[in-house]
Structure 1
């Protein structure tokens, strides 16, 4: 069969076999953003601001006179970088850089101490057998170190002891059963340097007339970190060697007192393993400062002062303010009650072979009873260390001890109830004997605590014979002769890791975690960084301590609801104004 061409043209887009599919257009090239280096000129506004900052500050330093108020203001707002680390820079700098500064301080406070303890334990586990027990040759355990002790004349029951004395290591007061090791051994002793929280109840006076010293320890113990910062060590040392840092008021320098842990104890005529008489708990009877539970820091601190003063006898009959100054490095003064006013006397040191040589110099500062309470409350909230003494004869009938030094632990105001605008002025006092308390209104057995439960709760009252008691300010003014004061600095460098049981293997890690928790979640870090206080013996203006509200190292306070001060005498309520 033959096909004939029709001569007709095919439509466009068709071929012999059907329509032709047009070719797809070529794909467009894929383009990616290319990062172009930013030119340095983009930063010129920042550079201009920084340059202007330095130029303005340089011109102000050249034009303003050194020490002038304008120069100080310029330094405060333009060149306060050195104060940034301590939180004392201007508010703008603190606000911008505080997160970084707080992280640095948290690391500095908690991490190195944790690592140090584990390294210290590893050393004694691996190399303790190569060590020897330490004995202080400069202050040996003998009669020369005791001196001629007179005893506590204010306390007949624990005054001078005629018993023979034997020296016992503090770490051997309580130890594992079996013979004593021939070389320092970690874990042989059950004693600890600090047992739980450091508090005034840890101080128990013995047969030594150093109530002034123990009262200073008790009041300083209420300030967290103040006592343990004086010890280079943080736990019991297997070798019995300790270093205590004390301030020499005469030379105005800090000294490190190195000592062993031998302490004088009452000898037992019977044949005891160490020749010492025993308490009911089986521990030796310490002649002077006694251990509270199983902690030994009080005995070591007392011995450090004895070495500083050349003997135990040289620590009798002293001034409490001097002891506080030796532990804090601050200036001291006292207020004596003359008639109805409180007059200030400044403590000045005197050059002498006696380290405690000092005297009180009159000052022109005077206060009424009402004004002085507000001033003491200001000092207490700022972290000052307070003490008191000079009990009048009338106070002896109510349980107070004349010619004796006491710790003034708290100065507080408290409302009679949560909805009342009537308030009490209260002070908390402690006897360093650990017993012997006030028997007047608001004593431990007073019915007023149950009558006013809000006062009991607000003051944290606990009914126990521990030498600590509350008094109303009006009664205090009538029965006491003086109040001592040593102002202390409070800042971010005052923070220390919390104290936990030494025997627990995980205590350093727990202390680190607990410290960080308090630092961040309880705002201890920001509060110590920004609400710091610098110690000063300058007069405080009345408008400062009479404020009704504000913020200080203890936090925020408001006294607007305190309108009517009252005094409670037994079961009677007397309106005073």
Structure 2
């Protein structure tokens, strides 16, 4: 969803708010929400009326442009009106449970629930959110956790628990849902045996209210949707990042499928796909699907996907119309699998060709969580904090850092986890990398650890983060002081231990690259005793990258650094969500030893660091070697 640029006054007000934040633990206090619920119910009973939510009005602004556009005279409704929803063609809002005599049964959740069969309404562009709901529909315990209870409200008042921006909130809503010319436009379940389940439409409405209206659900990130509903950590590996390591990507998918994680996926953008895949079998592009199953059958690596439209969107190999089916594959992929409308099979080789990103939500009912609010970035003044955790016995943890108010995952946070009490030489670093949302699961042995949450892109600007520590057993946490140079030391030690050496000049110079699927870190070490190391780092092209030297969407940029004798420095960090390996290889490095203490880039620039390294660019500060 596009957002209006903030005014200068709004930016200043937001920065003042962030500057006032002090690190704290987040806990849900629902006493006030319980009083609110009882007050609303008592009012409705006394006045013999249904609930109209004054905090989320039945107005055009909350519907958004996508729904309002459908009210244009030329718009034709393609769906057939449901006789159990006698909606006037002039109504824009309608109660999800019709009032008066009913020829069908309505409920929040029913034992006859058919997993995955959540349907997207036409023209709303919210396929990512619906694909997430479809994945959740196979887990009744999630729905039970979200709702105050699973009882229908006569007066249409409901309370739902959502994890907005990493913080649990109770959202109170009424049961009025958007309509277009007699057609209900809320997320819907297939009516089974004359029974209508309304939980998808109510979760959709609660999310719309929490995020600023139904317009916010347009192109809503599926990973964020699943984490908002479950509170669990999510990851969204981009397939382009694994073009040279497709087997590793398959292992990620297979492991997530075996563990029954919630999963969805999205096809490529229309323009790029049509340009590169001319004449290929058709599939709905720029569209989200739910991943139902990940299977290996002999040499075949198969995925079963579901289209939220309720019909197959794939016309290639293993589609219903394909003529190459064998009796064995029909048995294993059709006869032994439950029928789901809109589901189809696709082979992994075709999947990586047509799809762009996968969202994996690691929801585990038996895991524990600690939630915190903190500020990262800016000049070190004592307000930035680290997190000290104590682990009583071996366990796994995952750390999530969320930038409030974004409704997407396209930002970064640098997360480091290391032993708290060991000496620098013996200290074990368990995790150190930039992440877009959550870390992987990290195995910790009994002991004390420190978690550093920081940033490298525009580090002078303070930003808010809601941090979640998920753990397989109960652990304890407290805040402790943040030391920027300790952070630099942890990053440099990680590159030293895990990096790939790309330059080695006798015993004088070492330059290493530490790489992950979505980042590259370059570091130079000057072992000489009396000469300065001059390094020029060139980026020929990285589309959509965020660089630690403050640039984005770079083409042919050069960064110059002079590293004193017996010192080391991080030269550059590049973090990206979607890019190909060839773009990562566009980083080249030139170097030389000299008595000169300044270097030259271009005709006029001459300094120790080009561009200048600011006091808040901690990650680029030099460290003297022992």
TM-score by length of 2: 0.45
Select the structure with the greater relative contact order (CA < 8 A; seq sep ≥ 6). 1
Q: Which of the pair has more CA radius of gyration?
A: 1
Higher percent of residues as strand: 2
